[in-house]
Amino acid sequence: MKDTSHTSRSYRRKEWMFILAGLVVLQLLFIAFDHASWTPVKVKEGSLFEDLSQAKLFTEWFTPYRTASHNLFTAIIAVTLLPAGLIGAVKDLSTRK
């Protein structure tokens, strides 16, 4: 019989590492785009995305970047992917002990 406990454990470890590495790469891209004053996404006027990115939350309170759409993307990515990456990391570290 093949031992699958090692492969499932290494897969879980790789999964959270890929998530956190993806978050870092996206933030580096946003930093580069922000310094170049360029955004890869065209926002249609009157769309929900434009309304959200122009909300006071992303123009005054949460402003790591000058571009409001980058602030919105960062918030969405942080809320969706960061918890998954951190939970995977904690599970991996707790199973090692």
CA gap 13, 8 in Å, rounded: 9
Which pLDDT does position 64 carry in this prediction?
Answer: 87
For 55-83, the pLDDT digits (tens) are 888 778 888 888 888 888 888 888 998 89
Sorted by where each begins, the domain ranges of the chain are 5-96
CA gap 69, 75 in Å, rounded: 10
Amino acid at 63: T
For 24-61, the pLDDT digits (tens) are 999 999 999 988 887 777 777 877 878 888 888 877 88
Kindly give the residue spans of alpha helices, DSSP state H, lying in 1-97.
5-35, 48-53, 56, 68-96
Closest CA to 15 of 90, 89, 79, 78: 89
Average the pLDDT over 2-8 and give the result.
Answer: 56
